[in-house]
Structure formats: C-alpha cells, structure tokens
Amino acid sequence: MSGRRPIIRVTHMTAGYGDVVLLDDLTFDVYQGEVFVILGGSGCGKSTLLKHMIGLLRPMQGSILIQGRDIAIAEGAERLKILTGIGVMYQQGALFGSMSLLENVRLPLEEYTDMPDEAMDRVAMMKLQLVGLGSAANKLPDEISGGMRKRAAIARAMALDPPILFLDEPSAGLDPVTSAELDQLIVGLARTLRITFVVVTHELASIDTIADRVIMLDKRTKGIIAEGKPQELRDHSDNPWVRQFFNREAAV
C-alpha cells in the first residue's frame, strides 16, 4: 500500500439534509493505491457520504481533504483542481445520451487540455479499449447494455488520468459474470495504474474480490461500526450486525 500515504482524509464530518443528521462525526483515511469500499445497509448514508466526498454536497461540520485540499470549503480554481483530480462513475453511468461513447470520453479532454483533436481521439480510444469497448466507440449510450454503459462511464471517469476514482454501486443491476468482469477491471486498474478507488457497494461477492479495506456504516449509530479487511470483519468482528451482513443472515 505504497507507504500508507493518505490521499483522502475525512475528519469529524457530520452530514445530513436540513435538520436530519445522517452521518455523525465520521473520521477515516483512504490510502494511495488501495481499493477502499464503503459498505452498509440500505438508507445508512453510503450515497450521501459519496456525494460529500465528490463535492456535490457540503458537510455540516468537519473537513474532507482530497490530496491535501479541503473539498468541503474549496471554491473556484481550488475546487476545479480537486475535481480534475478525481473521476466519478455514477450508478446508471450518467453518460450524455446525445454523444457517442468516444465523444463522452473526449469531453473532459476537450475542456481541460490543449491536445490537438487527433491526440484527444487517440487518448479517448485508448481508454475505451482499456475497458474493452473499442469496437463500440461510435455507438450511443442508448444502443449498448447496462454493463457496457458502466464500463464506458469508467473510461470517461479516467479520461484525465485522475489518481482517484469514485464508483457508485458498480455491480448493481448486472449479471454475476458481467459484474465479475467489472471487478477484474477495477482490480487490474488499481494494480497496474495505481489508481485509488473508493467504491460504494453492497455486493458481497465483489467486496471479496476487490476490497483492500472496508468501512461499514450503520443507520442506528449514524457512523462507522467496522473498519478493516473484509475477511477479518467477517470472521472476527465482535459486532453481530457486521457478521450478519457478511453472512447474509436476516436481522432477528
């Protein structure tokens, strides 16, 4: 884990909507090059936490340092620097429907680099080939399957080679084979390109394959109830709810 250098630091973060607090006093680090998984049951605030980490929402209290910059208070150029250093894959892909896959991946390059047209095409094509979508580059998002859309969304998130990628439910709604392929892709990218992944999921199968480290959120305590490697949590957690989750038992 490359010297255990934290690339994201969340410190005493409290978040919610209006008067309702969903996450209370959260503190954790994400280290460079690891696949970090945020786990939890439905409604525990996983997606809310993700939205705070990518700057869509601002926390009520606390700080979220991304590569040393606080996204909770950053404005203007500072905020842009953080945002170009992260890539996000949304649950449904959120590809722009009027553009082909290649154009979708090209868009960040057009906006943030001074590359010539041909260079942008090459780079965008390379990213698509990396996720196995080279032959579908000219297709519209409507014309491809859900799994392909998610892979294309990863390619777009990687367009500017950000050191951090956020993935929201990468395997939701996919068949086990496609989902496993996507997991392989994530692990491959993390190992070869040394990208840091922050993944929100509740698919047990993918957690085993991809996760270096896991935090588990809980609705009742509004905080982290477990942190560590997935195998350790399953076998040695002293929290019954954590063991239930990993062993797929219904709550009694």
Residues contributing to the site for another protein (CB under 8 A): 81, 97-98, 102, 109, 112-116, 119, 122-123, 125-127, 129-130, 132, 134-138, 142, 158, 160-161, 192-193
Give min distance, CB of 238 to another protein, in A: 41
Give min distance, CB of 178 to another protein, in A: 18
User: For residues 44 and 160, which CB has a smaller minimum distance to another protein in the complex?
Assistant: 160
User: For residues 17 and 112, which CB has a smaller minimum distance to another protein in the complex?
Assistant: 112
User: For residues 74 and 242, which CB has a smaller minimum distance to another protein in the complex?
Assistant: 74
Q: CA 49 from chain center: how many Å? A: 11
Give min distance, CB of 160 to another protein, in A: 5
Give min distance, CB of 200 to another protein, in A: 23
User: For residues 95 and 214, which CB has a smaller minimum distance to another protein in the complex?
Assistant: 95
Give min distance, CB of 157 to another protein, in A: 12
DSSP structural state of residue 135: G
Q: How far apart are CA 161 and CA 76, in angstroms?
A: 21
End-to-end CA distance of the chain: 38
Q: State the DSSP string of 21-85.
A: EEEEEEEEEEETT-EEEEEE-TTSSHHHHHHHHTTSS--SEEEEEETTEETTT--HHHHHHHHHT
Which position has the token pair 């969340």? 10
Sequence-ordered alpha helix ranges (H) in 100-158: 101-112, 117-130, 146-157
Spatial contact of 14 and 34, defined as CB atoms under 8 Å apart = no
